[in-house]
Amino acid sequence: MPFKLVILWTDALVFVLLAAVALFALHVRRHDHLAAPWRKVARSPSGMAAATVLAFFVAIGLADSLHYRPAIAVKDGKAVYAVEVLSVFDKLAERLRTRKATTYSAPLATHRYTKESIELPDGRQVRDYPRLKHGGSHLRDPVADWAPDVARRCLYGIAAGSVIWFVLATLLCAGLARGGATDTDTVWRAIWRGGTEVPWRTVLVTLGVLLAVGSPLVALAAKYHVLGTDKVGQDVFYQALKSIRTGLVIGTLTTLIMLPFAILFGTMAGYFKGWVDDVIQYVYTTLSSIPGVLLIAAAVLVMQVYIENHSEQFETTIQRADFRLFWLCFILGIASWTGLCRLLRGEALKLRESEYIQAAKAFGVSEFRIIARHIVPNVMHVVLISVVLNFSGLVLAEAVLAYVGVGVDPTMTSFGGMINSARLEMARDPMVWWSLAAAFCFMLLMVLSANLFADAVRDAFDPRIRAARPFRLAARKP
């Protein structure tokens, strides 16, 4: 085979979570009372715009979660595979990954950021800014050709993005027309008048903005370092894209680890009361009293000792880094289930006094069957709201942990690692600002989208919130 599939710990959990989401979606689709709140989410313009942006991040994260080791030779009829573990995203972004400069270079620069000694053909040495090996190397005269070349590539990128947008918009209109038994022109006019149940106009506008920004960046990245390079010459644009997976993994897998503890202990404490409630309250009160950073630091130290003593279990550097990421998600999950557990305990205390619960007890239904069939389904709205609200907090927590030195492995690219390295770069003269700016912009976009989507989910699922204005449920007639 030309490659050997590598399944990391976090890769397996990511696709388990993806399968769980798919099964949950199928279950919701079959039950109208479960689908009604999600239809309300789909009617929210801000929620759909945020979902469009999040879909972009998720696509990159999934592509970066398919790992393999490429074959480099054949020996005695058997393939010899490289030590380096790559992902599908690494293959797609091979130019960004392999084209490295020597040291710092500014965004879209053709020369290095600092002066160095250059030997002229006549043997003399001068202090000047050397040309970059890859950035703008195709330009004969960087001073005269740089601006027209950048403008031309931006226009090419915008044109390509426009074509992609038009194709996607046409496919959307064709699909809606086929489902509604009407023609595409009618659907197209309804979309742009804002007369559809789902705000597809908002989705298309958001998609257009993403393509208008992303397509020129991709076009420029073919010949330039779009967001500059870091101290070792690695492309900052590539680092920012690679950091997306780390943020998504921490935000989602921590939730996956946290939910079983929170749901099980929260519902049991509220339903059984008595000594069960006292024990569970004692456990999560004690756990909440331990400083989170100290708990994580101690766990990371234990994990590092385990890796050093069992190095034979980790063939490559990325496997060691991935195991540390998995361990970090596990510790964050253990440390963060207490808040949701308190909420579920309060909901279970109210539900256990409901008439249908008392009727189930009277008919002899077992306690755990009541919890599984009546308590847990009626607290899922609290679970969903908490999950989407905690996602952005976990993404930001990774940056804080990396800043204090107890985050992900230094060999793994993350937003926190970029910010931590930029801390020293900001003190340089001249100042190196683009690493911090890139991490800030990408993290801001991810967290803002997650927060907007969380607001839409909260408005749809929280029974105490009423919509401020009605949404149109059907398309207008032309």
Return the domain boundaries, the chain.
Answer: 236-461
Q: Which CATH architecture has domain 236-461?
A: Orthogonal Bundle (1.10)
What pLDDT does 464 receive? 58
How far is C-alpha 344 from the geometric centre of its chain's CA atoms?
27
User: Torsion angle, CA of 90/94/99/104, rounded to 10 degrees?
Assistant: -40
The Cα 194–Cα 475 span in angstroms is 8
Q: What is the pLDDT of residue 476?
A: 47
Distance (Å, whole) CA 415 – CA 396: 9
pLDDT at 253: 87
Omega into 430 within 30° of 0, i.e. cis?
A: yes
The dihedral sign for the CA sequence 414, 415, 420, 423: positive
Contact by Cβ (8 Å): 456, 41: yes
Contact (CB, 8 A) for 37 and 461: yes
Q: What is the pLDDT of residue 215?
A: 93
Residue 455 in contact with residue 46, Cβ under 8 Å?
yes
Residue 312 is classified by DSSP as: G
The pLDDT assigned to 152 comes to 93
The answer to whether 344 and 263 have CB atoms below 8 angstroms apart is yes
What is the 8-class DSSP label of residue 132? P
Instruction: Give the DSSP H or E segment for 236.
Output: helix 236-272
d(CA 237, CA 442): 10
pLDDT of residue 54: 93
How far apart are the C-alpha atoms of 239 and 231, rounded to whole Å? Answer: 13
pLDDT at 470: 47
Pair of tokens at residue 448: 């803002």
CA 162-446-319 angle, 5° bins: 105
Comparing C-alpha atoms, which of 391, 289, 382, 394 is closest to residue 343? 382
Residue numbers in the chain where pLDDT is lower than 50? 466-478
Contact by Cβ (8 Å): 392, 454: yes
Cβ pair 338, 261 in contact under 8 A: no
Helix (H) or strand (E) holding 392: helix 376-404
Q: Which of 203, 182, 181, 183 is nearest to 192 (CA)?
A: 203
- Identify the pLDDT of residue 295: 82
Nearest to 88 by CA among 210, 6, 18, 16: 6
